[in-house]
DNA sequence: CTGAAAGCGCTTACAG
DNA sequence: CTGAAAGCGCTTACAG
């Protein structure tokens, strides 16, 4: 059916190997030979069969990306950037949504998904370091996020603690003293939720403001959870003058609930988030938040993974990369409030 | 290295073909034989090599999805649902972001991307029907959206015109008479923008309200465009009592700009959008919009494409499917305003 | 610099 | 119901 290397070889009057050499940019080919092959390729409209190449070489030039849900704005924006970064380097990204299901995470580590990709970018939400290590296999893996900080694995992450502390300090500087935290995950300390909560506590300590557990609302990280959590605090009679949503959609959900109930933002309650998704800038009021260096995270995690795949990175030592962050002060929690 | 079918055949004491029969659920296998093969598979931990299977069968069980930008909320939510629908049927989705570049769209149609997938879900933004037809090849293609309505191609779309008319009628019923439209694309009539604008005009006609070109603001479909367009209208002294953003992010950007400038929504100006992205429900005020049946679109487009791939759908006649829509009336443009 | 041959791991007619 | 053989289209040692 399709034009094969054999057809090209015949048309150019050379052997298969010579065609392969031209395709793979082998150095030592006589210019005349090379030209003849290239002409034949152009004339016949030959395109290399990627599947055959993969079968023989064992490489697919695809990277796997495992995350919980592509429709969450933070992940959508991250995935988009990761795909562009990969594309610039000649790779594609195949996405797997885990829905935070352990079974899916496991399968991504060793099933067909692994087979289809040369390396994995993985945001583990359920399974732990030992489980990963046990199923890992030999293909490279780079962890994204901070659910697992382990010397065995490469990790690209953000300054969760520092950034949360800076944001909390900003709220305190604005005169806020009772800062509710939405989206805590009590069972977990190494995850983003835990690290951000730690940063919050650290900032309180440094300012000499007592920590009040009543202000900490545990919940999942979707928009509606943020609204429900604030409703819970208000209905429970908890007093607060600021809300720190551990991510932006939580903060936006919380802000919506406050406004519905006639609580003025930021006068009565300041609101801040984490992620700086596109929407944060255009919310009403616009959302004060942390920009966690998403572009840097995308660029460096793709770079690291491909370096591992192509063997450019020394083995044995795992890399732990932290992107820089920046405070984005906007209307929902202005400088002086 | 890895366990192959040969290893399984040897362990089970059968031929390659028998193992293949078991793997492919061939009906007529003696139960005892089948069991022996399955035991061998389990014991050896055999996993089929998908690349080899693809090379031989010519199928990858991957679907291609071409869209402009995965980080746009509508596309992110759609992609997430498409991937889940495909997964239920045993397929994966490989995404290509075109950034509305014609070159990328062309390559998706015939280059390596096409090779890697058994069929394509395509949202063409730049190239036209004849270009698509010329490069199509024999693999199935389903168009998504309405940039091209052509008897040669399968299409799954939404009721753009009807829904826009219904939304406009709702604004008119609320007493609005000067409804600005944000996001028109003057050069295009078959696209979503053109169809929605037509629906708007039709609703005006039916209500006997004159059409005023000064109210139509052309721009791209990003959040910041919506804000800029409203700013332009206000600065230009155009009077209006409602804004119809041709998609939700435009409406949300517009609403942000109105609120910044002290224009009350919905009292002074009602705002409505199109798409019903997750964020619409949680905006402040929450956004009145059209829910275009995204789940139905995802389910039916994946179903149609896979039917074509697997030859279950009669050839020769293109299917044109329109999902149903629903008006979501919320605070930004309530029933009586 | 180039060629002839083997083989990646499957599926698919073809026999029986 | 099952087996022996060919072949999908490449890359990769191995020669020369």
pLDDT confidence band for B1 (50 / 70 / 90): low
Q: Name the region of A145 (left: φ>0; alpha: ψ -120 to 50; beta: rest).
A: left
**A104-108, A186-190, B47-51, B162-166: which has the highest mean pLDDT?**
B162-166
CA distance A288 to A280: 8
What is the pLDDT, as a whole number, of residue A149?
78
Name A residues 1-30 whose Cβ lies under 7 Å from strand D.
1-2, 4-6, 16-17, 20, 23-24
Closest to A309 in 3D by CA, of A22, A48, A57:
A57
Structural domains of chain B, ranges and CATH numbers in brackets: 5-48 (1.10.260.40), 60-157+294-323 (3.40.50.2300), 160-291 (3.40.50.2300)
According to DSSP, the residues that pair with A216 across neighbouring strands are: A181
Q: Residues A64, A97: contact at Cβ < 8 Å? A: no
Q: What is the spatial distance between Cα A281 and Cα B252, in angstroms, rounded to a whole number?
A: 11
Helices A5-12 and A16-23 pack at an angle, to 10 degrees, of: 110
Whether B5 CB is under 7 Å from strand C: yes
Question: Strand A62-67 to strand A154-158: parallel, antiparallel, or no bridges (unpaired)?
Answer: unpaired
pLDDT of residue A1: 57
Tell me the C-alpha distance between A248 and A80, whole Å.
Answer: 18
Compute the 3-state secondary structure of chain B and give helix, strand, coil in percent, each to the nearest 5.
Answer: 45, 15, 40
What is the number of other CB atoms lying within 10 angstroms of the CB of residue B134?
11
pLDDT band at A335; cut points 50, 70, 90: confident
Asked if strand D comes closer than 7 Å to A57 Cβ, the answer is: yes
Q: Which residues of A touch B54 (CB under 8 A)?
A: 51
What does the alpha-carbon distance between residue B181 and residue B196 come to, in Å, rounded to a whole number? Answer: 10
> pLDDT per residue over B3-34, tens digit each?
888 888 888 888 888 888 888 877 777 888 88
The mean pLDDT value for A238-253 works out to 97
pLDDT 10s digits, A56-80: 988 999 999 999 999 999 999 999 9
From the list B95, B281, B282, which residue is nearest A95 (CB)? B95
pLDDT in tens, A127-170: 888 999 988 888 999 999 877 778 899 999 999 999 999 999 99
3-state SS, residue B194? helix
pLDDT, tens digit, 9 for 90 and up, residues A94-125: 999 999 888 999 989 988 899 999 999 999 88
* CA closest to A250 among chain B residues: B282
In this complex, the answer to whether residue B28 has its CB under 7 A from any atom of chain C, a nucleic strand, is: no
CA separation for the pair A336, B237 (Å, rounded): 34
Instruction: Give, as one character, the DSSP assignment of residue B310.
Output: T
Instruction: Single out the residue of A143, A78, A138, A70 nearest to residue B87, CA to CA.
Output: A70
**Radius of gyration over every alpha carbon of chain B, rounded to an integer in angstroms:** 25
């Amino acid at each position: 059916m399709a034009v094969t290397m054999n057809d090209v070889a015949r048309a150019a009057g050379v052997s298969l190997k010579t065609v392969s050499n031209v395709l793979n940019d082998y150095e030592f080919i006589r210019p005349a030979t090379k030209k003849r092959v290239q002409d034949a390729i152009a004339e016949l409209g030959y395109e290399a069969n990627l599947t055959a190449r993969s079968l023989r070489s064992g490489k697919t030039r695809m990277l796997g990306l495992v995350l919980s849900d592509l429709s969450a704005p933070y992940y959508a924006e991250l995935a988009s950037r990761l795909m562009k970064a990969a594309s610039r380097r000649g790779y594609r990204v195949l996405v797997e949504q885990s829905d935070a299901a352990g079974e899916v995470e496991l399968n991504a580590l060793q099933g067909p998904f692994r087979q289809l990709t040369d390396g994995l970018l993985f945001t583990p939400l359920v399974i732990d370091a030992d489980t990963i290590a046990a199923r890992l296999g030999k293909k490279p893996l780079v962890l994204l996020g901070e659910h697992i900080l382990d010397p065995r694995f490469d990790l690209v992450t953000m300054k969760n603690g520092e950034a949360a502390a800076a944001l909390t300090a900003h709220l305190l500087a604005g005169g806020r003293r009772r800062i509710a935290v939405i989206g805590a995950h009590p069972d977990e300390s190494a995850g983003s939720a835990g690290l951000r909560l730690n940063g919050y506590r650290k900032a309180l300590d440094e300012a000499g403001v007592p920590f009040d557990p009543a202000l900490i609302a545990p919940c999942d990280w979707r928009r509606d959870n943020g609204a429900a959590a604030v409703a819970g605090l208000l209905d429970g009679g908890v007093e607060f003058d600021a809300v720190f949503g551990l991510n932006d959609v939580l903060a936006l959900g919380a802000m919506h609930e406050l406004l519905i109930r006639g609580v003025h933002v930021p006068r009565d309650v300041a609101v801040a988030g984490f992620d700086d998704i596109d929407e944060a800038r255009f919310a009403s009021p616009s959302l004060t938040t942390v920009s966690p260096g998403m572009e840097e995270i995308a660029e460096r995690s793709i770079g690291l993974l491909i370096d591992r795949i192509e063997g450019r990175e020394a083995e044995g030592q795992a890399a732990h990369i932290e992107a820089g962050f920046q405070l984005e002060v906007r209307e929902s929690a202005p400088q002086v409030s």
